[in-house]
């Protein structure tokens, strides 16, 4: 589909691939917070209301995680 000089893609090929992802969601029905399991803190408290979190699944686009940099060795170890 074209709008003016801009073409808008409507094919399903352009949509991000979704995959089942482990998440933690807030148990409080008034709070809509959720966090991907890989980004969750060690203590599982809601980042917004500080309430308890519940383990769940959600279909989300994949995230490219950068590996954590390794600590550098002191020069004396060379």
* 49 in any annotated domain: yes
Q: Would you state the pLDDT for residue 67?
A: 58
Q: Would you state the pLDDT for residue 8?
A: 55
Does the pTM exceed 0.75? no
pLDDT higher at 11 or 39: 39
Burial 47-62 (b: 16+ CB within 10 A, else e): eeeeeebeeeeeeeee
Q: Would you state the pLDDT for residue 29?
A: 93
* 12 in any annotated domain: no
Q: Would you state the pLDDT for residue 39?
A: 86
- Evaluate whether 62 touches 42 at the Cβ level (below 8 Å): no
The count of domains in the chain is 1
Q: Would you state the pLDDT for residue 64?
A: 78
* 34 in any annotated domain: yes
Q: For 20-29, what is the mean pLDDT?
A: 95
**Domain residue limits at 46:** 17-62
* 3 in any annotated domain: no
């Amino acid at each position: 589909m074209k709008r003016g000089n801009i073409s808008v893609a409507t094919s399903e090929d352009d949509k991000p691939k979704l995959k089942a992802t482990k998440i933690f969601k807030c148990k409080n029905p008034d709070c809509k917070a959720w966090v991907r399991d890989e980004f969750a803190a060690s203590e599982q408290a809601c980042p917004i209301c500080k309430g308890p979190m519940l383990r769940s699944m959600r279909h989300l686009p994949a995230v490219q995680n950068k590996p954590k940099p390794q600590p550098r060795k002191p020069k004396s170890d060379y």
